[in-house]
């Protein structure tokens, strides 16, 4: 009996873990995954690594201080595979797939937000990441983690504080409507992944929302995407409820679109998004009525909340203290009474409320 309890405690089952015990073992396994080997050997080491991380699924905070140590070997291997232009292409692709599987396992435990900020973010990586992403086979369902990680990496690269159009190596070529081909390729790649049935859909939505909320994208590309989203929701809302319940590719595209628009409202500037609220809200309210799909209702609820918050103008807190003149001459200065800003009571008119 006592031996069984001891085994359960050692394995982390039924007990609360205190710290990341297997850190060195995980790093050693990651370093082994970065080397060329047989597929069976890759699988064995990845399964062992994944089994260790799953023990911390309910206590991810224990891994937070070790994320950099875990991500660094995977980043080095991914960059090495990316820069390898010739030679062992098949072996490099196998390393890439299992490195991305290991990265997804970490994202699953601690959350992609904590891992994303540690991805490489050099300017020259942007086109390389997009090229790798375009080479992925969408019919290869065994290695979808590679697409997931590359989309997150692309999202991190979209945060580079430089004009993305200036990073386009296509000698300043623009499309027929005068837009950068690099930006259009990113948008089209993310849109194609937004109708996937797995986590790659959410990664594509995150990447696209980060791109479209950049200050240099808010004029043309954001307006074009929001117009497309409104027309998509409009056509979907007029379908019969039975047809909307079918798990078709169009249904998953709606999920990806709702997730992306929600993220845009979360990250974007209020004044830039204010014109789209009255256009989006009627479709969201129509879709949420009588909708039995939990995932759709969840995203619609989040989006309606964000649109409602966007309608409310920012209000300065009434409890703040007004800044006054301060003197360093403490002997002659007299204590001044602290005054607070007057509470401004003003009704806010919400578009589409009917009142």
Residues 281 and 225 in one domain: yes
**Which DSSP symbol is given to 161?**
S
Residue 154: name the closest of 87, 111, 209 by CA.
209
- Whether 8 is in a domain gets the answer no
Query: Which of residues 128, 162, 196 is at a domain's end?
Result: 162
List pLDDT tens digits, range 264-285: 999 999 999 999 999 999 999 9
Residues 40 and 128 in one domain: yes
Please tell me whether the overall predicted TM-score, pTM, comes out greater than 0.85 for this model.
no
Binned at pLDDT 50, 70 and 90, residue 99 comes out as very high
Residues 93 and 216 in one domain: no
Half-sphere exposure of 95 (CA within 13 A, CB side): 24
Rounded distance between C-alpha atoms, residue 35 and residue 49, angstroms: 15
Mean pLDDT computed over 181-202 = 91
- Whether 57 is in a domain gets the answer yes
Query: Which of residues 103, 129, 162 is at a domain's end?
Result: 162
- Whether 267 is in a domain gets the answer yes
Residues 124 and 211 in one domain: no
Residues 131 and 193 in one domain: no
Q: In terms of residues, how long is the chain?
A: 355
Rounded distance between C-alpha atoms, residue 103 and residue 116, angstroms: 10
Residues 23 and 157 in one domain: yes
Residues 123 and 240 in one domain: no
| β-pair partners for 174 | 180
Is residue 297 a contact partner of residue 262, using CB atoms and an 8 Å limit? no
Is residue 261 a contact partner of residue 254, using CB atoms and an 8 Å limit? no
Mean pLDDT computed over 308-327 = 76
Quick one: how far is CA 189 from the chain centroid? 15
Is residue 257 a contact partner of residue 232, using CB atoms and an 8 Å limit? yes
Q: What range does the domain containing 25 cover?
A: 13-162
List pLDDT tens digits, range 118-152: 998 888 888 889 988 988 888 888 889 999 999 99
Residues 46 and 182 in one domain: no
Binned at pLDDT 50, 70 and 90, residue 9 comes out as very low
Residues 102 and 220 in one domain: no
Is residue 244 a contact partner of residue 251, using CB atoms and an 8 Å limit? yes
- Whether 326 is in a domain gets the answer no
Of 59-73, 204-218, 316-330, the least confident: 316-330
- Whether 335 is in a domain gets the answer no
- Whether 345 is in a domain gets the answer no
Is residue 307 a contact partner of residue 261, using CB atoms and an 8 Å limit? no
Mean pLDDT computed over 195-210 = 93
- Whether 124 is in a domain gets the answer yes
- Whether 349 is in a domain gets the answer no
Query: Which of residues 162, 193, 219 is at a domain's end?
Result: 162
Binned at pLDDT 50, 70 and 90, residue 329 comes out as low
Residues 147 and 258 in one domain: no
Is residue 255 a contact partner of residue 261, using CB atoms and an 8 Å limit? no
List pLDDT tens digits, range 13-47: 445 778 888 989 999 999 998 887 788 889 999 99
Mean pLDDT computed over 201-207 = 95
**pLDDT for res 25:** 92
**pLDDT for res 327:** 62
**pLDDT for res 19:** 81
Q: Which tokens sit at 281?
A: 């809200």
Residues 17 and 154 in one domain: yes
**pLDDT for res 3:** 45
Is residue 264 a contact partner of residue 209, using CB atoms and an 8 Å limit? yes
**pLDDT for res 211:** 94
Q: How many CB atoms lie within 10 A of CB 76?
A: 15
Number of domains in the chain: 2
Helices 200-212 and 181-193: crossing angle, nearest 10°?
A: 150
Residues 114 and 80 in one domain: yes
């Amino acid at each position: 009996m006592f031996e069984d309890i001891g085994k359960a405690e050692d394995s982390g089952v039924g007990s609360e873990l205190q710290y990341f015990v297997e850190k060195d073992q995980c790093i050693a396994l990651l370093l082994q995954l970065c080397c060329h080997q047989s597929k069976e050997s890759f699988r064995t080491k990845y399964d062992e690594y994944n089994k260790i991380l799953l023990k911390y699924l309910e206590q991810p905070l224990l891994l937070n201080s070790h994320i950099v140590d875990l991500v660094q070997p995977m980043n080095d291997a991914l960059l090495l595979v990316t820069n390898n232009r010739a030679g062992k292409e098949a072996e490099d692709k196998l390393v890439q797939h299992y490195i991305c599987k290991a990265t997804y396992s970490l994202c699953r435990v601690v959350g992609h937000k904590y891992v994303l900020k540690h991805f490489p973010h050099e300017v020259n990586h942007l086109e390389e990441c997009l090229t790798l992403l375009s080479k992925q086979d969408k019919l290869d369902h065994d290695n979808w983690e590679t697409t997931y990680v590359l989309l997150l990496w692309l999202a991190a690269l979209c945060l580079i504080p430089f004009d993305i159009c200036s990073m386009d190596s296509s000698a300043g070529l623009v499309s027929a409507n005068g837009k950068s081909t690099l930006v259009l390729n990113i948008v089209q790649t993310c849109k194609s992944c937004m109708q996937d049935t797995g986590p790659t859909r959410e990664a594509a939505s995150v990447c696209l929302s980060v791109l479209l909320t950049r200050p240099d994208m808010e004029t043309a590309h954001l307006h074009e995407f929001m117009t497309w989203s409104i027309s998509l929701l409009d056509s979907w809302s007029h379908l019969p409820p039975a047809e909307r319940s079918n798990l078709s590719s169009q249904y998953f595209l709606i999920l990806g679109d709702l997730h992306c628009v929600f993220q845009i409202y979360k990250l974007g500037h209020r004044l830039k998004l204010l014109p789209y609220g009255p256009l989006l809200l009627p479709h969201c309210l129509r879709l949420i009525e009588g909708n039995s799909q939990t995932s759709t209702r969840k995203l619609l609820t989040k989006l309606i909340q964000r649109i409602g918050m966007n309608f409310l103008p920012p209000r300065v807190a009434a409890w703040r203290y007004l800044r006054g003149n301060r003197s360093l001459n403490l002997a002659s200065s007299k204590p001044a009474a602290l005054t607070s800003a007057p509470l401004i009571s003003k009704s806010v008119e919400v578009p589409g409320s009917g009142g």
